[in-house]
């Protein structure tokens, strides 16, 4: 039997196990995480489930999981409630038996299993950055070995995985998140990746701001959320040296920028409204130009994110004393439909974005705009402003994002 058929069979048994967890009233993502932890725990002890007496299976698996959590992962917090395992159900046994006979060459294949079989729902979609976007951002940043990387809102660790694929290991990664489910997922990815010096900050990145060092790379998919101006000033004025916005996306960006080394680079995935909304947001954008930080904006197609069909963009930052221009890159023609009717970057589209970002000439997809020109447009970074498109479109999109921000719960997430 070929490996593809074995893998499909494993997915069938995994789905059956998830249905058991759902029927017990637990979230699917907690069941998926629990099943995967059980798989790693059994593999870590080199157990052969088929050789364990039936009456001992439940206790052996449970003991293996407890030892794996305590000794191997060495978590600094109690993960209970982050995952669910039905030790008493035959569905778990069938799943682990199928995994036992699946020929896995290395732990990277286990990462692929985790990514493919992990259910993404409306409740956790904001914490999951699509793989193609994370890969694109890491490629644009050009992460190298032995560099330090900081993700202030790491969610389920998409950028850690992308950096591992890009570099191959030997880099330092620090990520912050206050959601223990996310922390456990990332811990598993770091464990399987190997050759990555990973440190987690269990809590809001802002709580650790004063003790954080400077980093070579900052990357993130900040959460969406909005709070009253007075509350934002009260919470973040000292931490962000007075550069505070009502939109949490902008506050996370500012936190990252203030922890960049002089030679550092940063990339953030943001909703389109960040590019052209007014008020304090425009003042924040103005500060990026005054500090000569913003270098590029890449606008992406709609339908790429798990939790919304609206468009998003990538902001690229780098310290520079000379350049006073920002490159606006359109990537809205670079996607294709995937399973679930979601848009993803095609291979050709991925390469096209990289080529446009590094192109020495301008085109219909690449526009270089001076800082002074951006200032004339109220510091708007929307490409349409510089290609004679109707400004009303920007306003409509911005209003949609503002409504989402008003009702969104601020959670750490990428």
Residue 91 tokens read as: 């569905």
> Is the pLDDT reported for residue 411 higher than 50?
no
Residues 68-77: tens digit of each pLDDT: 999 988 887 7
Please give the average per-residue pLDDT across 140-163, as a whole number.
92
3.40.50.150, 3.20.20.140, 2.40.160.20, 3.30.460.10: CATH of 125-407: 3.40.50.150
- For residue 284, report the phi and psi dihedrals to the nearest 5 degrees: -65, -45
Name the more confident of 308 and 299.
299
Position 407 scores a pLDDT of 46
Residues 105-130: tens digit of each pLDDT: 556 567 777 776 665 554 555 668 88
Please give the average per-residue pLDDT across 374-393, as a whole number.
74
Position 101 scores a pLDDT of 79
Residues 311-324: tens digit of each pLDDT: 899 999 998 877 89
Name the more confident of 321 and 394.
321
d(CA 374, CA 395): 17
Residue 396 tokens read as: 């409509």
Residues 207-238: tens digit of each pLDDT: 999 999 999 999 999 998 899 999 999 999 99
The ranges assigned to domains in the chain are: 3-117, 125-407
* End-to-end C-alpha distance for the chain, whole angstroms: 37
Please give the average per-residue pLDDT across 373-385, as a whole number.
91
Residues 34-60: tens digit of each pLDDT: 999 999 999 888 888 889 888 899 999
């Amino acid at each position: 039997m070929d490996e593809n058929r074995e893998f499909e069979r494993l997915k069938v048994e995994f789905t059956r196990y998830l249905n058991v967890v759902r029927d017990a009233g637990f979230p699917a993502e907690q069941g998926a995480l629990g099943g995967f932890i059980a798989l790693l725990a059994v593999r870590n002890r080199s157990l052969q489930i088929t050789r364990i007496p039936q009456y001992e299976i439940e206790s052996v698996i449970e003991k293996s999981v407890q030892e794996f959590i305590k000794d191997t992962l060495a978590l600094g917090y109690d993960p209970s409630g982050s995952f669910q395992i039905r030790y008493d159900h035959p569905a778990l046994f069938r799943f682990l038996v199928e995994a036992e006979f699946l020929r896995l060459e290395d732990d990277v294949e286990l990462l692929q299993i985790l990514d493919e079989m992990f259910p993404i729902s409306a409740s956790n979609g904001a914490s999951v950055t699509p793989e193609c976007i994370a890969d694109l951002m890491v490629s644009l940043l050009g992460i190298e070995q032995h560099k330090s990387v900081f993700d202030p809102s790491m969610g389920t660790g998409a950028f850690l995985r992308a950096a591992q694929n890009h570099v191959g290991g030997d880099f330092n990664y620090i990520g912050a998140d206050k959601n223990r489910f996310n922390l456990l997922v990332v811990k598993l990815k770091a464990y399987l990746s190997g050759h990555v010096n990973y440190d987690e900050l269990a809590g809001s990145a802002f709580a650790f701001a004063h003790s954080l060092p400077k980093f070579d790379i900052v990357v993130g998919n900040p959460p969406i959320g909005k709070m009253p101006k007075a509350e934002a000033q009260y919470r973040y004025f000292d931490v962000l040296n007075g550069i505070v916005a009502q939109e949490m996306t902008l506050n996370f960006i500012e936190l990252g920028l203030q922890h960049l080394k002089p030679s550092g680079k940063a990339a953030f995935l943001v909703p389109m409204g960040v590019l052209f909304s007014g008020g304090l947001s425009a003042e924040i954008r103005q500060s990026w130009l005054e500090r000569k930080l913003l270098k590029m904006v890449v606008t992406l197609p709609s339908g790429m994110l798990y939790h919304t069909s609206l468009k998003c963009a990538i902001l690229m930052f780098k310290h520079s004393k000379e350049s006073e221009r920002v490159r606006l890159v359109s990537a809205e023609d670079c996607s294709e439909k995937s399973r679930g009717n979601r848009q993803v970057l095609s291979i050709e589209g991925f390469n096209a974005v990289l080529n446009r970002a590094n192109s020495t000439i301008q085109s219909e997809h690449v526009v270089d705009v001076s800082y002074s020109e951006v200032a004339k447009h109220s510091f708007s970074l929307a490409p349409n402003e510089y290609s004679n498109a109707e400004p009303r479109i920007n306003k409509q999109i911005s209003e949609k994002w503002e409504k989402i921000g008003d009702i969104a719960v601020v959670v750490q997430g990428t």
